[in-house]
Amino acid sequence: MNAPFPSRDSGDSLRSLKVLIAAPRGFCAGVDRAIEIVERALVRYGPPVYVRHEIVHNRYVVDNLKAKGAIFVDELDEVPDNVPVVFSAHGVPKSVPAEAEQRKLEYLDATCPLVSKVHRQAERQVEAGRHILFIGHAGHPEVIGTFGQVPEGEMTLVQTVDDIALLPFMQETPLAFLTQTTLSVDDTAAVIAALQARYPDIVGPKADDICYATSNRQAAVKQIAPGSDLVLVIGAPNSSNSLRLVEVAERCGTDARLIQRAADIMPQWLEGVGTVGLTAGASAPEALVREVIARLSEWRTVEEVTLTAAEERMVFKLPRQLTETTE
């Protein structure tokens, strides 16, 4: 149900606790697809199925898949011959499937289709003779995967507005920009505006590269944070979209904490708190949301209120190798 914001209440004596639950939250279509690819591969091929890197950035999800027979590795040289391997939702450089094909490994690509769309845009911009300024976070798997779609030297990373003043390109240089899909909507808009101010002819994507799920979850936090004394974000410390949700809440003037499981919550966090906002990053399952509610209910009488910022109905197709034998 939807409801208006309650007023803040800092009374220490309150035993009731209002929990504003953000919607949408948790799994996005790309994460659903990636997890289903691993699960269906385990059914089709039987365990073990190898997965290069964490399929998504969530320890709970990874541990559940391990229990079913998935083995997670850092690189392909850890994968034995004649076993299937799945590439994570964040995408991989072109060299990774090329290596798999050279070894005749059967692979399943769980790259989110919205990340793959950015990959194809990168290829087209380089083919058009433009150097790409890529807005993203250094070291993130999605950034590494996108850089690996084009020849070395054809893409430059831009992380902040301050980076733009240091760029060596002349105003007349043919340039394009693309972005990581899990960035802060507001921060990225500022970086793009600064790029366009310095390079008026820079070419951007036809549609926003920040994915619908990232945008929707940030919008939902903007709904719950102003009426909350504390916002809890369920997500992994290496999850870009989860970290951005913490930042969004803090920019609304609300204390926010990133937690991986309910056990991370400290009772003292609730001192003087009458309303808690609760959301989950795109890699966090709904089971962890319910776990947090149960934990809070151990200390206070919880009243749940869901605030909906958007409805999501996106579904992505599975790889053909899996649908041919299971549908």
> 16-27+212-308: which CATH topology?
Cobalt-precorrin-4 Transmethylase; domain 1 (3.40.1010)
What is the secondary structure of 36-96 as a DSSP string? Answer: HHHHHHHHHH-S-EEEES-SSS-HHHHHHHHHHTEEEESSGGGSPTTS-EEE-TT---THH
pLDDT interval class at 132 (50, 70, 90): very high
Per-residue pLDDT for 201 more than 90? yes
Higher pLDDT, 206 or 155: 155
CA dist., res. 26 & res. 285, Å (int) = 6
Fold agreement (16-27+212-308, 29-112): no
Edge-first strand listing for the sheet containing 255-259: 255-259, 230-234, 275-280, 16-23, 301-308
Q: Measure Cα distances from 202 to 41, 78, 164, 205 in Å.
A: 42, 42, 13, 10
Q: Which of 143, 138, 206 is nearest to 179 (CA)?
A: 143
**Contact (CB, 8 A) for 2 and 306:** yes
The CATH number fitting domain 29-112, selected from 3.30.70.1710, 3.40.630.30, 3.90.420.10, 3.40.50.11270: 3.40.50.11270
**Domain range list for the chain:** 16-27+212-308, 29-112, 113-209
pTM for the model stands at 0.90
Encoding tokens for residue 120? 């194809």
pLDDT digits (tens, 9 = 90+) for 10-47: 444 458 999 999 999 999 999 999 999 999 999 999 99
- Can you tell me which residue has the tokens 């060299």? 95
Per-residue pLDDT for 9 more than 50? no
Q: Residue 93 is which amino acid?
A: P
**Contact (CB, 8 A) for 307 and 3:** yes
> 113-209: which CATH topology?
Cobalt-precorrin-4 Transmethylase; domain 1 (3.40.1010)
**Residues catalogued as catalytic:** 142
Q: Which of 47, 34, 31 is nearest to 109 (CA)?
A: 34
- Can you tell me which residue has the tokens 């290496």? 238
Longest alpha-carbon distance in the chain: 66
Q: What integer pLDDT is reported at residue 265 of this predicted model?
A: 98
Q: What integer pLDDT is reported at residue 13 of this predicted model?
A: 41
